[in-house]
DNA sequence: TTGTAGGCGTTATCAA
DNA sequence: TTGATAACGCCTACAA
């Protein structure tokens, strides 16, 4: 370690007090142009860089945010994190982050401790709501934490939450298929332990019911988000209900697996059977055929969560004791592509 | 902010000195069981948590690592980061991270400054080598930084580097196609500004030359890693060289786009034309048909880089002035699937 | 406009 | 086995 250059070193070289150097560095107070010059030169010469740890220690602000997420190798988390990072950078925050090995893990205290010990100004909990993985949330616990924004969960009293309207997304997807003349629409859902899955499932059922269409158990299978599970789910669907003329897969990976089965069994897409996915991963536009899908605008979710967190931090800084709370639900957007457009053969016949 | 509980608070409650509490917290020195008990109870009662900032300030160690990466929404960076995070967590480090908006950005000093200001113990530079985006690296600059490990670059004097042998991966891919009886093998390369692309290109050429096969410009196109570019590249290839019996796409996304074109133009895969990709993204196993591809084991890369960084940190802590350096090149692995196996029609005829 | 004293929460040194 | 005292590098309050 090359010996740290400190405020005092600069002060000595410039023949001023440490406080004066501090003033120059932080642009505060009135300083004569002459000394400012001298100090600046000393700073340059010594290559002085302020020590944020010391600064944070006294100012009680670390200008650091923490993100907890899981499954970074998947589309959703990585996109959300990208949005978070960009906004944080813009606002002058440095990011710390931690991955939950299992997103249904409920033993999160060590992670939280590690962040609070490092005096982060705020925390973004970017782990999807799965099973009872929200059970650790208790008011007494939250009270000892910096402000927290929760992502992708059912809004809850006393929490700041940013979520996507998954139900609306599923309705858009299903209604689009209905608009295309499809009547027998299957569903490959995500794992039902996930809140997002249940919401999408509810949206599908709602849209089907509204159109007076059947949504029987035989036309519904549960996947686990992987392409592999989409493949197996589709195989099961084709056995149980060879008459389906459309399938809504609850993410693009499962749609990909399902598309493969359609090809393998000699079905034409979209003539014989149409497909819609969810997420709008970049590859979806190049599936065979290009996939209609629902974009969640996840990087907006990340971005927004940082803005909200920033507000909460400022509020607490101002010593406001009331823990105000903010909830935002973003609307997803349907992207229409070939996998679902075109007139189904059955209707023409 | 609920008033911080400090060592002194605990000390007062337990009627001991601050240093004694410190000793209990850190398990150092001999302490009578009686006082240890008393201190422990006081800690529990007050809910005391050590302040890492203060600790780092005096101990000159933050137990924090920084990662700089780019394009987190892509497979490579996110997988590498996952490996980094897991190993860091195991070793007791907290991670800070920053994204380069443009991976060929060369103005990296502000980011580096922000990390050194926060006294990170080490830095992992996980941005691929592109164009001259390594030009900022200078010994004088590095001297003022904590230890740095560089990922995915051509090994360079005086730097610790962890890379994958891209050339060998491309050779494996190409030779596999040759082994399958293919003779006219096209290439959809990555952007030539990327070191990794050039290495894969070199591997392809080397394998072709060794087998006495032609690698003419007409059978080589450059993509930009996206599925879209794979599609366009394949269209161009099919125009220029409709006789190709195989294509090596330098990542799986481009392979996906290329597969689509093959289907669209009525070619049977792999009978008429075989495909190999690169990366082994999870979806590759569910492409239509399942894609043969090269796995880089990127999470191992991340993991290894942390271990090396840890060694460098320890070494410097021990006051070793010699900046030792370590270089590791990992071997990728070919995964064979249907897109490239089976006897080509031409050979049977 | 500039400087001094004191403290942020922890650990190291040296005594007791 | 325990405890003063002095750092670590910076900032706030007050004074000059």
- In angstroms, the separation between the Cα of residue A72 and the nearest Cα of chain B is 6
Cβ-Cβ contacts under 8 Å between A and B: the total is: 155
- The residues of the protein lying within 7 Å (CB) of strand D read A 4, 6-8, 18-19, 22, 25-26, 28, 49-51, 54-55, 57-59; B 15-20, 23, 29-32, 34-36, 54, 57-58
Please state the rounded mean pLDDT for residues B254-271. 95
Residue nearest to nucleotide D5 (CA to C1'): B19
In the predicted model, is pLDDT for residue B322 greater than 80? no
DSSP B292: B
B8 is near strand C: CB distance < 7 Å: yes
Distance CA A242, CA A225 (A): 23
Contact of B81 with B302, CB cutoff 8 Å: yes
Residue-level pLDDT at A127: 96
H/E segment holding residue A221 = strand A220-222
The distance of Cα A187 from the centroid of its chain, to the nearest Å, equals 24
Which 3 state secondary structure label does DSSP give A62? coil
Q: Which residues of B touch A117 (CB under 8 A)?
A: 49-52
**How buried is B2 (Cβ within 10 angstroms: 0-12 exposed, 13-18 middle, 19+ buried)?**
exposed
Residue-level pLDDT at B1: 47
Tell me which residue of A309, A188, A191, A310 sits closest to A254, measured CA to CA: A188
CA of A8 and C1' of C4: distance in angstroms? 14
Residue-level pLDDT at A347: 41
Tell me which residue of B274, B279, B273 sits closest to B254, measured CA to CA: B279
Residue-level pLDDT at A322: 65
- Residue pLDDT, tens place only, A247-278: 999 999 999 999 999 999 999 999 999 999 99
Instruction: Judge: B72–A64 Cβ closer than 8 Å, yes or no.
Output: no
A30 is near strand C: CB distance < 7 Å: yes
Q: Whole-number mean pLDDT of chain B?
A: 93
Residue-level pLDDT at A1: 46
Distance CA A295, CA A103 (A): 22
Distance CA B48, CA B21 (A): 11
Please state the rounded mean pLDDT for residues B147-160. 96
Tell me which residue of A167, A140, A170 sits closest to A155, measured CA to CA: A167
Residue-level pLDDT at A87: 97
For residue A245, what are the β-bridge partners?
none
Distance CA B68, CA A34 (A): 39
Residue-level pLDDT at B34: 86
Instruction: Judge: B1–A259 Cβ closer than 8 Å, yes or no.
Output: no
Q: Nearest Cβ partner of A97 from B97, B256, B263?
A: B97
pLDDT of chain A, 349 residues: tens digit per residue: 457 889 888 888 888 888 888 888 888 777 888 888 888 899 998 989 999 999 999 988 999 999 999 999 899 999 999 999 999 999 999 999 999 988 888 889 999 999 999 999 999 999 999 999 999 999 999 988 999 999 999 999 999 999 999 999 999 999 999 999 999 999 999 999 999 999 999 999 999 999 999 999 999 999 999 999 999 999 999 999 999 999 999 999 999 999 999 999 999 999 999 999 999 999 999 998 999 999 999 999 999 999 999 999 999 887 666 678 999 999 999 999 999 996 554 443 3
Question: How is A143-188 classified by DSSP, letter by letter?
Answer: HTS--EEEESS---TT-EEEEE-HHHHHHHHHHHHHHTT--SEEEE
- Residue pLDDT, tens place only, B92-109: 999 999 999 888 888 899
Tally: H helices and E strands in chain A:
13, 12
How many residues does the structure list for chain B?
349
Distance CA A161, CA A149 (A): 6
- B345 or B243, which is more confident? B243
Supply φ then ψ for residue B125, to 5 degrees.
-95, 100
Distance CA B337, CA A112 (A): 43
Which 3 state secondary structure label does DSSP give B300? helix
Residues 71-130 of A with CB under 7 A from strand C: none
Own/partner pairs, A265-272, CB within 8 angstroms, 24+ separation: A265/A238, A268/A345, A269/A339, A270/A180, A270/A338, A270/A339, A270/A340, A270/A341, A270/A342, A270/A344, A271/A342, A271/A344, A271/A345, A272/A245, A272/A344, A272/A345
Which 3 state secondary structure label does DSSP give A269? coil
Lookup: nucleotide whose C1' is closest to B60 CA: D8
Q: Which residues of A touch B146 (CB under 8 A)?
A: 1
B281 is near strand C: CB distance < 7 Å: no
Residue nearest to nucleotide D4 (CA to C1'): B17
Instruction: Judge: A286–B228 Cβ closer than 8 Å, yes or no.
Output: yes
Parallel, antiparallel or unpaired: strands B148-151 and A64-69:
unpaired
Contact of B136 with B108, CB cutoff 8 Å: yes
Please state the rounded mean pLDDT for residues B76-91. 96
Radius of gyration, alpha carbons of chain B: 27
The angle formed by the CA atoms of residues A54, A123 and A141, to the nearest 5 degrees, is: 100
In the predicted model, is pLDDT for residue B124 greater than 50? yes
Please state the rounded mean pLDDT for residues B235-243. 97
Distance CA B70, CA B211 (A): 37
Question: How is B140-184 classified by DSSP, letter by letter?
Answer: HHHHTS--EEEESS---TT-EEEEE-HHHHHHHHHHHHHHTT--S
| Strand C positions within 7 A of protein Cβ atoms | 1-13
B297 is near strand C: CB distance < 7 Å: no
Residue nearest to nucleotide D6 (CA to C1'): B58
Contact of A254 with A281, CB cutoff 8 Å: no
Return the C-alpha torsion angle B254, B255, B259, B265, nearest 10: 60
Q: Which residues of B touch A230 (CB under 8 A)?
A: 286
Q: Nearest Cβ partner of A316 from B1, B85, B264?
A: B1
Instruction: Judge: A282–B56 Cβ closer than 8 Å, yes or no.
Output: no
């Amino acid at each position: 370690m090359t010996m740290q250059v400190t405020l005092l070193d600069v002060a000595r070289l410039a023949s001023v007090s440490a406080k004066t150097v501090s003033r120059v560095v932080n642009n505060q107070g009135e300083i004569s142009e002459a000394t400012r010059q001298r100090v600046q030169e000393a700073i340059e010469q010594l290559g002085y860089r302020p020590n944020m740890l010391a600064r944070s220690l006294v100012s009680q602000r670390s200008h650091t945010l923490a993100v907890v997420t899981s499954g970074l190798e998947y589309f959703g988390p990585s996109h959300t994190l990208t949005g978070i990072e960009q906004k944080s950078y813009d606002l002058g925050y440095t990011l710390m982050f931690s991955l939950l090995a299992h997103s249904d893990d409920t033993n999160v205290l060590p992670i939280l401790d590690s962040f609070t010990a490092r005096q982060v100004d705020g925390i973004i909990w970017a782990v999807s709501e799965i099973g009872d993985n929200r059970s650790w949330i208790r008011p007494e616990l939250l009270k000892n934490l910096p402000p927290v924004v929760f992502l992708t969960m059912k809004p809850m009293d006393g929490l700041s939450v940013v979520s996507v309207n998954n139900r609306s997304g599923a309705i858009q997807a299903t209604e689009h298929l209905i608009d295309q003349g499809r009547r027998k629409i299957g569903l490959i859902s995500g794992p039902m332990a996930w809140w997002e899955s249940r919401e999408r499932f509810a949206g599908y059922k709602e849209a089907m019911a509204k159109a007076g269409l059947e949504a029987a158990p035989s036309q519904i299978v549960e996947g686990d988000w992987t392409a592999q599970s989409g493949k197996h789910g589709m195989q099961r669907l084709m056995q149980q209900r060879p008459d389906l003329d459309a399938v809504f897969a609850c993410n693009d990976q499962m749609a990909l697996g399902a598309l493969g089965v359609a090809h393998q069994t000699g079905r034409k897409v979209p003539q014989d059977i149409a497909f819609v996915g969810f997420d709008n991963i970049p590859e979806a536009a190049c599936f065979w055929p290009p996939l209609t899908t629902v974009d969640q605008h996840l990087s907006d979710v990340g971005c927004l969560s940082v803005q909200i967190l920033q507000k909460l931090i400022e509020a607490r800084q101002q010593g406001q004791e009331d823990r105000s709370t903010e909830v935002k639900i973003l609307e997803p957007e349907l992207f229409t592509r070939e996998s679902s457009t075109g007139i189904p053969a059955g209707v023409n016949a």
